[in-house]
Amino acid sequence: MSAPQVIIVGAGPAGVRAAEVLVDAGLRPVLIDEAERCGGQIYRQPPEARRRPYEKLYGSEAAAARALHQSFDRIRPGLDYRPKTLAWDIAGGWVSIHDRTEAAVGRLPYSHLILATGATDRPLPVKGWTLPGVFTLGAAQISLKAQDCLVGKRVCFVGTGPLLYLAAVQYARAGAKVVAVVDSGSFAAQVKYSPGLRHAMGTALRGIGFVAELHARRIPVLKGALPVEISGTEGVERVTVRQGAKQKTFACDAVALGYGLRSETQLADLAGIPRSFNAAQQNWAPQSGLDGRTPVAGVYVAGDGAGIQGAHAAELRGTRAALALLEDLGKPVDAGRAKVLEGEICRWARFRAAMDGMFPIPVEALKSLADDVVICRCERITMADIRRVATLAKPEDVNRLKAFGRTGMGRCQGRYCGDTAQAILSSLTGIPQEQAGIHRAQAPIKPVPIGDFIRVASQTEAIAEEAAQ
């Protein structure tokens, strides 16, 4: 039997833990990641020139970050590690890649594939969200983590979810003036779902600590509040928000906007894995079991790319998926360990369900957006365009909406507007969200320079010609 060819996409907590299990079992997986260094989103490492102490970079997560990076360093010799490499297509047992170091495209065969592609944050559209100075929450955090750089001096944090509070605290500690934290989640919902926090008390207490720190710093925290408009002449100057019947305006030079996370599922879709809609998370995730197995034999999913559960669960899910892969290869696996992992994954799922209840995504607010609000930024499709297409063409799902109205047809392939378009279409037409669907993935899932295709093609041609002579 030929040696298995295992590819892991994603070197975040899930991908690194999966790789660790496989290397320890004597395999040599290929580990692909777009980023320059391992760690994924949460344990992202700055470039060498901008190294800082772990405690400064990762705060309460310093120990977990160090542990993950050290595990990676230990297994590094056993890996075929491909940093700065995008996986942009999956078809017929091959992963197509773009290697940014070599500026080259190519493809790698696999017999087994683990997709640990993580998540992106979700900025819901609001009037003025395309002004310079509006960032997603994640982008604001990445700029701090990776470049030690603030997105503004007076920043307003708008959205919902634990990352909203964490990022606001990180900015306050880094010296920014946090003018307000505007959370759409209501105090009542947070009290109602708080019993579920017992499933991960340490993490819950850290979150409560962030809120307490914001109060201690006298930063206004508004709950049950939604942004009405972000405005300014050449960039952000103020944010107006509504809380019940009251309206407030905060002067600021930047806005960090984010309503929870959504799974990166384009590769899973290309690999043929059906996706299901989780209404509480407003998220489409590839279908999979607790063990990471999917309906497609030999393809596994792990971490936030398989449904949002957070970084600790991502490590467990990466480990479990790799054990499933070993089982499928007929290698000995400690069944007790697999069971314990599944129990822990369930515990984190219960914790996540509480968080989903505490911080619901306010998609119902989308239907009253003004006509001139841009929904699809790549193609500059506005709310009025979507209203017009929904009325005239009566699309039955987002893929038809895309065909008739171009929403999601641009560079991001609907990665950013897809779920918003789905929620808007559903609210305008009454089609259930699940039926309104999600954009089918198209390769390349992210832009790849055409020059790199041409250069590789001409090199291949030259080699073929030489061989023929």
Ligand X SMILES: Cc1cc2nc3c(=O)[nH]c(=O)nc-3n(C[C@H](O)[C@H](O)[C@H](O)COP(=O)(O)OP(=O)(O)OC[C@H]3O[C@@H](n4cnc5c(N)ncnc54)[C@H](O)[C@@H]3O)c2cc1C
If one counts every other C-beta atom within 10 angstroms of the C-beta of residue 192, the result is 13
* Among 291, 304, 385, 419, interactor with ligand X by CB under 6 A: 304
Residue (of 185, 174, 182) closest to 141 by Cα position? 174
Q: What is the DSSP letter of 127?
A: B
Contact 229, 239 (CB under 8 A): yes
Using CB under 6 A, which of the segments 6-14, 376-384, 408-416, 419-427 binds ligand X?
A: 6-14
* Using rule CB under 6 A, residue 227 touches ligand X: no
CB of 445 to ligand X, least distance (A): 6
CB of 397 to ligand X, least distance (A): 24
Reported in sequence order, the residue ranges of 110-260 that DSSP labels E, i.e. its strands, are 112-115, 119-121, 134-136, 154-160, 177-183, 221-223, 225-231, 238-243, 246-251, 254-259
Using CB under 6 A, which of the segments 9-17, 67-75, 176-184, 372-380 binds ligand X?
A: 9-17
Contact 401, 421 (CB under 8 A): yes
* Using rule CB under 6 A, residue 389 touches ligand X: no
CB of 196 to ligand X, least distance (A): 17
CB nearer to ligand X: pick between 84 and 242: 84
* Using rule CB under 6 A, residue 197 touches ligand X: no
Contact 392, 398 (CB under 8 A): no
Per-residue x/- track, 133-162, ligand X (CB under 6 A): -----x--x---------------------
Helix (H, G, I), strand (E, B) or coil at 104: strand
* Using rule CB under 6 A, residue 356 touches ligand X: no
CB of 292 to ligand X, least distance (A): 11
Preceding peptide of 286 cis, ω within 30°? no
Q: Which amino acid is at 371?
A: D
* Among 71, 96, 117, 427, interactor with ligand X by CB under 6 A: 117
* Among 57, 116, 144, 390, interactor with ligand X by CB under 6 A: 116
- Sites for ligand X among residues 61-100 (CB under 6 A): 86-87
* Using rule CB under 6 A, residue 269 touches ligand X: no
CB of 86 to ligand X, least distance (A): 5
Per-residue x/- track, 16-55, ligand X (CB under 6 A): ----------------xxxx----xxx-------------
If one counts every other C-beta atom within 10 angstroms of the C-beta of residue 157, the result is 32
CA atoms lying within 13 Å on the CB side of residue 170: 28
* Among 8, 9, 150, 412, interactor with ligand X by CB under 6 A: 9
* Among 4, 6, 7, 13, interactor with ligand X by CB under 6 A: 13
* Among 4, 8, 15, 68, interactor with ligand X by CB under 6 A: 15
CB nearer to ligand X: pick between 265 and 426: 265
* Among 230, 239, 257, 267, interactor with ligand X by CB under 6 A: 267
**DSSP states of 345-410:** HHHHHHHHHHHHHHS---GGGGGG--TT-EEETTTTEEHHHHHHHHHHT--SSHHHHHHHH-TT-S
**Torsion of Cα atoms, 274 then 279 then 281 then 283, to 10°:** 30
CB of 467 to ligand X, least distance (A): 32
* Using rule CB under 6 A, residue 305 touches ligand X: yes
Contact 418, 408 (CB under 8 A): yes
With a CB cutoff of 8 Å and minimum separation 6, the contacts of 437 are: 397, 398, 399, 422
CB of 141 to ligand X, least distance (A): 5
Whole-angstrom Cα Rg for the chain: 23
Number of residues located near ligand X, criterion CB under 6 A: 35
CB of 356 to ligand X, least distance (A): 14
CA distance 258 to 215: 21
Using CB under 6 A, which of the segments 301-309, 393-401, 418-426, 450-458 binds ligand X?
A: 301-309
CB of 120 to ligand X, least distance (A): 5
Alpha helices in 274-363 (DSSP H): 311-328, 335-358
Helix (H, G, I), strand (E, B) or coil at 451: helix
- Sites for ligand X among residues 311-350 (CB under 6 A): 311, 314
CB of 465 to ligand X, least distance (A): 32
Residues that bind ligand X (CB under 6 A): 9-15, 32-35, 40-42, 86-87, 116-121, 138, 141, 163, 166, 261, 264, 267, 303-305, 310-311, 314
